[in-house]
């Protein structure tokens, strides 16, 4: 899958996804830095399959109905890389069944 990592997600997570065959880029790497979530999703649609973020409120701010991109929200104790890496197995599992237009959250509520 083609994955786009939000600015708030550590780029150090990329190798953990890439080892499973996913193509990983960050928002700054594709020139979308500073864009709001709605615009980001529009720009990413068609180029990426999944937008990965730690922004738990995105689900209430964006409507994915009819979108060709999915959103994976990583819930962790903090945005520190060690806390995010603990959620990596759940993220990889979620990517096995995620569909366009779907919000999926991994990690503790």
Distance, CA of 105 to CA of 33 (rounded, Å): 23
Percent of the chain with pLDDT over 70: 99
Mean pLDDT to the nearest integer, 82-98:
97
Distance, CA of 97 to CA of 78 (rounded, Å): 26
Q: What is the CATH number of domain 2-106?
A: 3.40.50
Mean pLDDT to the nearest integer, 26-39:
96
Instruction: Tell whether pTM > 0.85.
Output: yes
pLDDT score recorded for residue 108: 87
Mean pLDDT to the nearest integer, 2-27:
97
Residue 43 pLDDT exceeds 90: yes
For 64-83, how does the pLDDT look when each residue is reduced to its tens digit (9 = 90+)? 999 999 999 999 999 999 99
């Amino acid at each position: 899958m083609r994955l786009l990592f939000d600015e708030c997600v550590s780029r150090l997570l990329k190798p953990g996804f890439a080892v499973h065959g996913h193509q990983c880029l960050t928002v700054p790497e594709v020139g979308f830095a500073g864009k709001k979530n709605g615009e980001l999703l529009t720009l990413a649609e068609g180029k990426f399959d999944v937008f990965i973020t730690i922004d738990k409120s995105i689900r209430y701010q964006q409507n994915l109905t009819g979108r060709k991109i999915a959103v994976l929200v990583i819930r962790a104790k903090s945005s520190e890389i060690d806390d995010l890496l603990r959620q990596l197995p759940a993220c990889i599992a979620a990517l096995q069944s995620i569909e366009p237009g779907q919000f999926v959250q991994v990690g503790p509520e």
